[in-house]
Structure 1
Amino acid sequence: MSLLITFDLDNTLWDVMPVITRAEYAMESWFEERFPGFYRNFGGDYQLTVRQHILNKQPELSADLTNLRLKMYQQVLKSFGLPSEEANLVAQSALAHFCEWRQKVDLFPHVNEVLSELVQDYRLAVITNGNADVFHPYVGLGQYFEFAVRAEHLGVAKPEPQLFLHAAKQADVTPEQVIHIGDHPIDDVQGAANAGARSIWFNRHGARRWAEDWGTSSHAEVHSLLELPSAIQSLAL
């Protein structure tokens, strides 16, 4: 049976927190170079408050993190005192700078090794709620994947089944022919189940135990990416 193996990105192929932390530091420097003193009153906590206010008014933006960040920058810059037109232009430049830093990931060990092995036998794709671009040169994994399904492009986020169904349709396979790999018990495991696909839970180092309120468990569990080829093969039989 032809299989499509789909991957989550953040916390599955790399640790996302250091990426975001570095990007936010870079943004602090970016703003301070242009508007000295900006971050004292319009930095981290203030931006988080504005972000939440925007989400309260437009909850659908939770599936479009890039647009959400753009709107946050626009609002913060207007609060800083920039006219609307200038604030919008500066926000676009700020977003571009953030997105560049967002791609500067540090891959988990064995990512290239495992993907190189898997792509020999399976079709690979990405399903992500985040705004990392697997085809960006900084990420450097585009050679392994046929395509990426991103929540911001569909307007819905995992665990909604649409992302998994979209991936299956794009690959011309049935949901039953999709095996999704991800770290998140709800977004990845339950999301795949919602679409009728199978899943492998990436529980790195076996640090967590499955909680009853997470719902139906995955079809397999791995603690290292090196275990993936065997886990996928067992499900393919």
Structure 2
Amino acid sequence: MTIRCIAFDLDDTLWDCQSVIEHAEQTLYGYLQAYYPRIREHYPSLDSLVSSRLAYAAQHPDLQHDLSSLRTRWLQQVFTETAYDPANAEQAFQVFWQARNQVQFFPEVLPSLERLAQTYSLGVITNGNADVHHIGIGHLFEFALSSAAAGVAKPHPAIFQQALAKVKIQAHQMVYVGDDPEKDVIGAQQAGLRTIWFNAQQRDLPLGLKPDAIMTNFAEIEALLKLL
């Protein structure tokens, strides 16, 4: 079976997500502290602000597939409750988003993507709101599909089916690479895709998980693809 397209998860597959989000949260908090003293008084620590966001997210499961809208609406609430114009939320979100797209790629990611793009169509399927074009690697991908654009999040098969439609291929002709056993591997398999589990931390294989291949470093990906 010929592989025609390789699609990738982003967060924790091409780069470490936790460090990126922590930096972006700190950048946002510094901005709010500097320009909105009532927010600084209401949220005396970054932890208190993050707790507010997590509580808002728990109350709005309908927005879990659209993290940009979720964060913007939460920021509107923050501005409203501190007697500021909620329209300020958009600029605050942009401060966060700019920092959120400052990523440090895992070893071998960029050279591997550049080589793969010479042979395969490449794509992105993500539940997050990172932007490969803003980051500077958008030219390597034929498509970048977010859960916000798809209307559903991984592991729902519909997001993978939408990706297949973008490149007009059959499911067995796409390989999906991701770190999350459920959202990435099982989700893609349920849509008929072949899968590579990116396991940089060398975690134990979850019971019942059967990816087509397991990769611990991006230097391995080209050899693994030849075996699929």
SS in 2 for 1:81: coil
* 2:126 counterpart of 1:131: no
Q: Which residue of 2 aligns with 1:23?
A: 24
Question: Is the contact made by 2:39 and 2:78 (CA closer than 8 Å) also made in structure 1?
Answer: no
The whole-number CA distance in structure 2 between the counterparts of 1:18 and 1:170 is 32
- Give, in angstroms, the shift of residue 36 of structure 1: 2.6
- CA distance in structure 1 between the partners assigned to 2:114 and 2:148 by the alignment: 28
Q: 2:68–2:129: 8 Å Cα contact kept in structure 1?
A: yes
Aligned to 2:220: 227
- Residue deviations 1:56-87 (CA, integer Å, cap 9, x gap): 443121101000000110111111122xxx21
Corresponding residue number in structure 1 for 2:73: 71
CA distance in 2, matches of 1:108, 1:71: 32
Q: Distance in 2 between matches of 1:2 and 1:191?
A: 19
Distance of 2:124 and 2:40 partners within structure 1: 35
Q: In 2, are the aligned partners of 1:205 and 1:224 still within 8 Å (CA)? A: no
Structure 2 CA distance for aligned equivalents of residues 34 and 71 of structure 1: 19
Matches of 1:182 and 1:30 in 2, distance apart?
33
Where does structure 2 lack aligned partners over 5 or more consecutive residues? none
Pairwise CA distance, 1:33: 1.4
- 1-side partners of 2:167 and 2:141: how far apart? 11
Shift of 1:39: 3.3
The answer for the alignment partner of 1:211 in structure 2 is 206
- Counterparts of 2:50 and 2:95 in 1: how far apart (Å)? 18
Say how many residue pairs are matched.
226
Partner of 1:103: 101
For 1:1-237, what aligned pairs fall within 5 Å after superposition?
1-36=2-37, 38-42=39-43, 44-82=46-84, 86-87=85-86, 89-136=87-134, 139-206=135-202, 208-212=203-207, 215-235=208-228
- After TM superposition, give the deviation of residue 38 of structure 1 in Å: 2.5
Whether the 8 Å contact between 1:50 and 1:75 is mirrored in structure 2 is no
CA RMSD in angstroms, aligned pairs only:
1.6
In structure 2, the CA distance between the partners of 1:52 and 1:19, relative to structure 1 (3 Å rule), is closer
Aligned to 2:214, what secondary structure does the other structure show? Answer: strand
Distance (whole Å) between structure 2 residues aligned to residue 167 and residue 127 of structure 1: 7
Between the aligned partners of 1:125 and 1:31, the Cα distance in structure 2 is 35
Q: TM-score, normalised by structure 2?
A: 0.93
Matches of 2:102 and 2:83 in 1, distance apart?
Answer: 31
TM-score (norm 1): 0.90
Query: Cα distance, 1:224 vs. partner?
Result: 0.5
Moved more, 48-57 or 143-152: 48-57
Distance 1:52 1:142 in 2: 30
* Secondary structure, counterpart of 1:67 in structure 2: helix
- The Cα offsets for residues 204-226 of structure 1, whole Å up to 9 and x where unpaired, read as 052x01121xx432110011100
Seen in structure 2, the aligned counterparts of structure 1 residues 75 and 158 have a Cα distance that, compared at 3 Å, is: same
- Distance in 2, matches of 1:8 and 1:33, equals 35
After superposition, what is the alpha-carbon deviation per residue over 1:121-157, rounded to whole angstroms, capped at 9, x for unaligned?
1110000000000111xx2211211110100112211
Q: State the shift of 1:45 in Å.
A: 4.0
Could you tell me how far 1:53 is from its partner in structure 2? 4.2
